[in-house]
Amino acid sequence: MFCGKWITAREERDNLHLLFEKRFELNAFKNAKIRITADDYYKLYINGRFVCQGPAPGYGFSYNFNEANLAPYLKSGENTISVHCYYQGLNNRVWISGDGIFGILADLYIDGRLALCADSSWQYRIDNTFLGGKPFGYDTAFPENRDMRKGLSAPKRAVEVPCPHSFAKAPFPALEVYEICAEGQKRGGRILYDFRQEYVCMPVIKARSQADGARLILRCAEELNPDGSPRFNLRCGCEYEETCALKKGENLIEQFDYKALRYAELVADSGVEIEEFKILVRRFPFPEKSQELKTDNAQLSAVWRLCKNTVKFGAQEVFVDCPTREKGQYLGDVFIAGFAHFYLTKDSRLLKKALCDYASSLQLCGEFLSVAPCSYRQKIADYALLFAPAVLKYYRLTEDYELLKSLFPACEKINAHFAEYENENGLLQNVESGWNLVDWPENMRDGYQFNTENKKEIGTHSVINAYYAHSLKCEEEIARICGISVKERAEKTARAFNECFFDESCGLYVDCVGSEHSALHSNILPLAFGLCPEEREEKIADYLEKKGMECSVYMAYFYLWALCNSGRKEHALALISGNGKNSWVNMLNEGATTAFEAWGKERKWNTSLFHPWATAPILIINEHFPNLIDK
C-alpha cells in the first residue's frame, strides 16, 4: 500500500503539534499525486499552500488514507512539503487517540513513478505556540490558546518506526475546505463578526502587534446574549474563549481543530491591528446540484432548508452527532442524518463507511459499539438494534449486495447477543449490556415506565423489545436475500410482543410487563415497524395523532413514520411544517440556521444548536412524499 516509512517524533505528550518537512528538487513533470495518512490527523501544505487534510477516523486494522493531485502546487526546481501532524491524546468520540501512536506516512508519485516518500531524511519541529487548557465538551478538543512568541523548536530528524496500521483497500475522500469572510462590526475595543448562519470551520486571524506579549482574545458562539455579545459559553457545554499572546509584528493564527459557530468576536489590546479574519469551512464533499423540494408551502420550504443545511455541514469525515460537544458518530443519529445525506446527495460513500465502522467495532473489542470509530467505548442497546434495519435499508437504496453480505454476520451477532437476555416468552428482559435509551432527553419520554435506577433490573419493557423484533425481522430478510438459512425467530417474537404489551382494555400498548401506562413511545414503534396487527392500527393512530409529537426530535422520525404507515400521511406532513411547540418551525422562530438537539433552546439543559439527528423531515418526505421531490 505504502512504500514510505511511518515517521514519528521522539517526544510524546497530549495536544502535540508536529511539523514534518522535506525539501526536494523536481524537473519538468505532467502529473503528481500523493498518498498520505497520519495519526491522529494531518494538514498537508506544498510550498506553503494548503492541499488537503485527514484522514477520516478509522480503526487500525482498516486505517484510512487520502490521495490528492499535487500538480497545481508543485513547480520545477526546489519544493517543500510540510505536514502538520496532530496527536490529541484524549479518550473521546473523535479519533482513536490516547494510545501513544502518532506520526505520518506519505508517498509522492511524479508521472506515475515514486519520487519521494516519508523516511528518516525528513525533519520535524514541535509547534510550541499551542498551550492547551481544559478540554471542551466531553474531553472532545483542547482549546487553542497560543503564545506566538514561542514559535517552532529546532529541527530534528524524523524517527522511523514499524507502521502501526493496516490500511483500507481504497483512499477515502478528503474534505472540502473553503474560506468565508464577514465584515466586522466594531464595538469599542471589540470586533463582532456575523457569518449569517452556523458553520463547521476553523477561524483564521491575521494580526499585527506593536509589542511582544500583546493579548488577543477570540470568542466564538452559536448565538448572541441579550446585550449583543457572543454567548461563547455554549449551551452544549463548550466554552469557546481562547487567548493568544502575540509576537511583535505579523501574526498568522490559524486554528487547527474545528468548531461550530455563527458569531465570532475579537478583543485585542491596544497596539494590535486586525488585518484579516475569516473562517475555513469544512465538510464532506456535497454536490452543487443536490436534491430540492418543490412546494408552495413557505414553512415547509424553510424547514427543508434548515434540515438540508444541518446535514450539509454535519457530514464531516463521519456523521457527527454535533460538531461541538461530542463530534462523534452515533448509530441512532446516522439512522436519520446518514440516510438524509444519501437522499440529498445520492452519494453513499460516507454512509457505507459508517456502517462498516460499526461492524468493525466487533472486530475491535468483541462488542458492538454505538459510537464508532473512536477510542471511547459506548454501548446503547436501542442503537445496536438499529444496525440490521440500517443495513437492509442501505441495500434497498443502493443494491450493494456485496456490502449486504459482508455485514450480515454483524447483524447476526448483534441479535445473538441480545438473545441471551430473552425470558421464557422470548422477549428481552433486564438488558444491562447497554444503555436503554428509549428517548433523549429524559423529559421527552412521555412518562415511559421502566427501571432506570438498577441497570440489572430494567425489566421487560416495550421499546427495547420493539427494536428487537424489528431487528430480527430485518436479519431474516437479509438472510433470505443472501441465500442464507433463516432461523425464523422474528414472527414468534412479534407475537410475544403483542401478547405481552397490548392491553385489550384500552386498545394500546403499555410500557412494560405489569404496567398500565401507555406512553407515546410504546405505541410509536409497533406502528412504525409493522408489528401492530391491522385491526389495531386505527385506534393507536388516533392516539398518536391526539397525543401529538410529545417526543424528542430523534424519536420524531419514528413518530412521523408510524403516522405514515397507518394512513395519516397528510397529518404527518402538516406536523413537519406546523407551528407547535414541538416543531421545526419553533426552532426557526428561535433563530435556528441548523436544527437543534431539542425542540427549543430551553428544552434541554445542555442543548446543542447543531444536531443532525433532527433532520427527519428529509427522510419522511423522501420515503412518503416522493411527489414533493424536485428530481
Q: Using one digit for the tens of pLDDT, what is the confidence trace for 100-121? A: 999 999 999 999 999 999 999 9
Which residues lie across from 177 on neighbouring strands? 282
- The C-alpha cell at 322 is 454535533
> What mean pLDDT do residues 428-447 have?
95
* Residue 156 to residues 14, 120, 121, 123, 126, Cα–Cα distance (Å): 19, 10, 10, 5, 9
SS3 529: coil
Instruction: Classify burial at 35, counting beta carbons within 10 Å of its beta carbon; exposed 0-12, middle 13-18, buried 19 or more.
Output: buried
Report the mean per-residue pLDDT for the chain: 97
DSSP conformation class of 453: S
DSSP conformation class of 423: -
Which alpha helices (DSSP H) does 385-449 contain, by range? 387-398, 401-419
* Contact criterion met (CB below 8 Å) for 554 and 463: no
Please report the pLDDT score of residue 487 as a whole number: 81
pTM higher than the cut 0.95? yes
Dist. CA 561–CA 429, nearest whole Å: 27
Whether the predicted pLDDT of 317 surpasses 80: yes
Reported as half-sphere exposure (CB side, CA atoms, 13 A), residue 176 has a value of 12
> What mean pLDDT do residues 498-525 have?
96
Confidence grade of residue 457 (pLDDT, cut at 50, 70, 90): confident
Confidence grade of residue 600 (pLDDT, cut at 50, 70, 90): very high
Please report the pLDDT score of residue 477 as a whole number: 98
